[in-house]
Amino acid sequence: MRIIAGTARSLPLKTPAGLDTRPTTDRIKETLFNMIQRDLPGSYFLDLFAGSGQIGLEAVSRGAEYAVFVENSKKAAACIEDNIRFTKFQDRCRLLAMDVTAALRSMEGKYRFDYVFLDPPYQSELEKEALLCIPPLLEEDATIIIEASLGNDFSYLKEIGYKIKKEKTYKTNRHLFLEKIH
């Protein structure tokens, strides 16, 4: 696993040992960033259920002003810390090693994000809980991106105030691009 493009291009990243995280493949990551690259420079990026931190670090490498990573696993949080140091992005990144809901509440009034990326464990339904807490942290035209398995049910989105802007389907998973209904 590596940074694909930008100022940290080709730098290898660590991944947490074990099967608790499933890193996004380079091909899927490249597709994702091709879809958002135009609006990424200068943005604030929130990486929830961050795993190794590769998505937020890719965003910073490609021009995001700042990234916040939220990861509850101590092993994964240590990996993110190492990757932030290795990419030399310490001044543009912050790690919150805590539960996502607690982290979101702790950031209210302190941060506003242009992009929020969620990659919770598949079929955990943790994304719904996070989506309910995210609105106070969103800039006006923010984009929320969820990486999910093909079978995840998102029929509840409209009732909690979101709409799907676009969707990209891969062999085993998909990215949903959401916006808040105003």
**Residues in CB range of 175: below 8 A, 6 or more apart:** 28, 32, 35, 145, 146, 147, 167, 168
- Cα–Cα distances in angstroms (integers) from residue 114 to residues 41, 79, 124, 143, 181, in the given order: 10, 25, 25, 6, 15
Residue 91 has pLDDT above 80, yes or no: yes
- Cα–Cα distances in angstroms (integers) from residue 100 to residues 12, 91, 124, 126, 134, in the given order: 26, 22, 13, 9, 10
Token representation of residue 9: 């291009």
Q: Residue ranges per domain, the chain?
A: 40-180
Query: Which CATH superfamily does the domain covering 40-180 fall into?
Result: Vaccinia Virus protein VP39 (3.40.50.150)
What CA–CA distance (Å, rounded) separates 170 from 19?
A: 21
Q: What is the pTM of this model?
A: 0.94
Instruction: Match 């984009």 to its residue by tokens.
Output: 143
pLDDT (tens digit per residue) in 29-68: 999 999 999 999 999 999 999 999 999 999 999 999 999 9
